[in-house]
Amino acid sequence: MLTSLTIKNYALIDHLQVNFTNGLTIITGETGAGKSILLGGLSLILGKRADLSNVKNATEKCIVEATFDLANYNLKPLFKTEDLDYEPLTIIRREILPSGKSRAFINDTPVNLDSLQLLGERLLDIHSQHQTLQLTNDDFQFQVIDALASNGDILEKYASNLSTYNSLQTELKTLQSKKSEAIKEHDYNSFLLKELEDAKLVVGEMNALEEEYETLNNIEDIKEKLSNSNALMSNEEVGLMNNLTELKQQFSRLTSYGTAYQSVFERINSSLIELDDIFSEIEALRESLEADPKRLEVVNSKLQIYHNLMLKHSVSDESQLISIREELAAKINDAENLDAVIQQKESELKTINEQLNTLAITIHKNREAVIPTLIEQLEAILGTLGMPNSRFNIKLHQGQKYYLNGSDELEFLFSANKGGNFNELKKSASGGELSRIMLAIKSILSKYIQLPTIMFDEIDTGVSGEISNKMAFIMQQMSNSMQVFSITHLPQIAAKGDTHYKVFKQDVDGVTVTQMKKLNSEDRIVEIAQMLGGFKLTESAIAHAKQLLN
């Protein structure tokens, strides 16, 4: 319920702070006093877009702040979903800055307008004659029937299954599309894979083959250079080995003259050992070389395969070719297993479809069972509200398509006159009739579900005194289980309130501002007497006002 409202620097309101209680709260005031301004401020709390033209002083910030008691609402899951801190007393604040920018906060946490609207619609319902089109909306009509049918839990289960059903359908379509593409590509991918598999690719093999190719292709030149190298080392007159051996012998005679000579001698000896090893390796390399035209052809052929494949697949080494080979193998494997996966998804879809159908049938039967009760209650209430000939014909048909709230299609037909034809609400009911129908529906709903705080904005326009008494009685009944506001011009309704506020204008320092005050018992007598007979109070008006209040 709405426990307090603060408005600063909005339209004709300089600063307004009001506290509210449960029950039926009446708001009255002359036309133009500012009741619509009050509703405008509340609409900002509900997430309506801000308009800088509504700011009273454009150089200062406009603030609208409302406190709600959430004790009777199951809103913790919503707060968790929206990542908000839950507080039993929740504060919603809107600010319009002089720059024109708007900010919104829930318990001091900044939020966007979507989050504000989502919470706002659970907390406050502003209803006027201009907002009765909600009645003609299928979703709202289903909500009414489902409230009476207690379909809340089963609709949640249905919605969860429908989400799974839609996801499976999407997955199945994707798999079928993938299969169609796979069929087109299968033969080509198989050819590419066979080509790569036949090549027997090995990481690092290409470098080894290139080295072997260079050796076999230049074998005579390599042999010649190895022989020359061998000669340089082993020539009897000028060979490296003979000269180094002679050098070693010379230094062997100097070692006894000091450690410096011994060190050089050891280095010469090491060099001679290393040179002898090199000589042996050169000799081994030379002896191992043998021209092999057939092997050269094999190596060249394998290298050509590598180069052709790399060119074909636009890669630079064999490891990338191996990766492509593995990807192709996976694609072909997936394609060959798609039938099994598709069959599994089809089986899952069939199961969830059966569950959905069972839930939809249950929802349909529950709805069918309560429709006679809804019609009976609606016609009875409307009879007391001056519409004794009102008749409803609510047709429910279960189709094959799954909607968000079941598989039903609904016709909510109405006839206002005896013997008249049934037609859609928007075509057969006037604005005043729609207002009374909405009041009747909300009064019925209040017995079955926890409704948000409701504010009736002059829905009694054009209603006679006797009917207004009935409307007031219905609002009183509703206020036993919820918070109800009624903005009214009718004294019969104003007198039924538990609390009464008056909206009025006054000039302050040469500026007209809107004020709002809570009326005490004496103030209420005067206000209702003026509503009955005008500003000039008469004894009969005062007596009538007291009678209404009693």
Task: Give me the residues paired with residue 423 across strands.
Answer: 414
As given in the structure block, the two tokens for residue 195 are 């080509």
For helices 152-198 and 318-384, give the axis angle rounded to 10 degrees. Answer: 160
Mean pLDDT for all residues in the chain: 88
* Whole-number Å distance between alpha carbons of 449 and 538: 45
Domains in the chain, start-ordered, CATH in brackets?
2-150+385-519 (3.40.50.300), 177-337 (no CATH)
Q: What is the pLDDT of residue 297?
A: 85
Q: Which of 186-200, 228-242, 258-272, 395-409 has the lowest mean pLDDT?
A: 228-242
Q: Check residues 20 and 203 and name the one with the higher pLDDT.
A: 20
C-alpha 208/C-alpha 206 separation (Å) is: 5
Flag the least confident range among 206-220, 343-357, 482-496: 206-220
- Paired tokens of 325: 């080979």
CB 433 within 8 A of CB 387: yes
Q: Are 422 and 413 in contact (CB under 8 A)?
A: yes
Nearest to 488, CA basis, from 518, 463, 525: 463
Q: Considering Cα of 245, then 246, then 252, then 254, what sign does the dihedral take?
A: negative
Task: List the beta bridge partners of residue 454.
Answer: 125, 484
Tens of pLDDT, residue by residue over 388-410, are 999 999 999 999 899 999 999 99
- Candidates 310, 311, 297, 312; CA nearest to 209 is 297
SS (H, E, C) 395-455: EEEEEEEEECCEEEEEEEEEECCCCCCCEEHHHHCCHHHHHHHHHHHHHHHCCCCCCCEEE
pLDDT of residue 26 exceeding 90, the answer is yes
What is the per-residue pLDDT across 366-376, written as a single tens digit (0 to 9) for each?
A: 999 999 999 99
Asked if the model's pLDDT at residue 252 lies above 90, the reply is no
Give the amino acid at 467. Answer: I
Statement: residue 32 has pLDDT above 90 = no
* Residue with more model confidence, 318 or 391: 391
Q: What percent of the chain has pLDDT over 70?
A: 99
Residue 544 has pLDDT above 70, yes or no: yes
365 CB-near residues (< 8 Å, 6+ apart): none
Amino acid at 37: I
Q: Which residues contact 197 (CB under 8 A, 6 or more apart)?
A: 325
Note the pLDDT of residue 6. 95
Half-sphere exposure in the Cβ direction for 316 (13 Å, CA): 0
How confident is the model at residue 397, as a pLDDT?
94
Q: Which residues of 149-159 are buried (b: 16+ CB within 10 A; e: fewer)?
A: bebeebbeebe
43-101 confidence digits (pLDDT tens): 999 988 888 888 888 889 999 999 999 988 889 989 999 999 999 999 999 999 988 89
Q: Which of 98-102, 226-230, 270-274 has the lowest mean pLDDT?
A: 226-230
539-546 long-range Cβ contacts below 8 angstroms, 24+ apart: 544/491, 545/491, 545/495
Written as six digits, the tokens of 455 are 């504010």
Q: With a cut of 70, say whether residue 131 has pLDDT above it.
A: no
Query: Which of 128-137, 298-307, 481-490 is predicted least confidently?
Result: 128-137
Region 20-47 average pLDDT: 89
Q: Is the CA virtual torsion 221, 224, 225, 226 positive or negative?
A: positive
| pLDDT at residue number 130 | 60
Per-residue pLDDT reduced to its tens digit, 429-482 = 887 788 888 899 999 998 888 889 999 988 887 777 788 889 999 999 999 989
CB 393 within 8 A of CB 365: no
Angle ∠(405,448,460) on CA atoms, nearest 5? 100
- What pLDDT was estimated at residue 129? 64
pLDDT given for residue 132 in this prediction: 63
In this prediction, residue 518 carries a pLDDT of 95
pLDDT category, 238, cuts 50, 70, 90? low
**Edge-to-edge strand order for the sheet containing 109-111?**
13-19, 2-10, 62-69, 89-96, 102-106, 109-111
Q: At 137, is the secondary structure helix, strand, or coil? A: coil
Q: At 150, which amino acid appears?
A: S
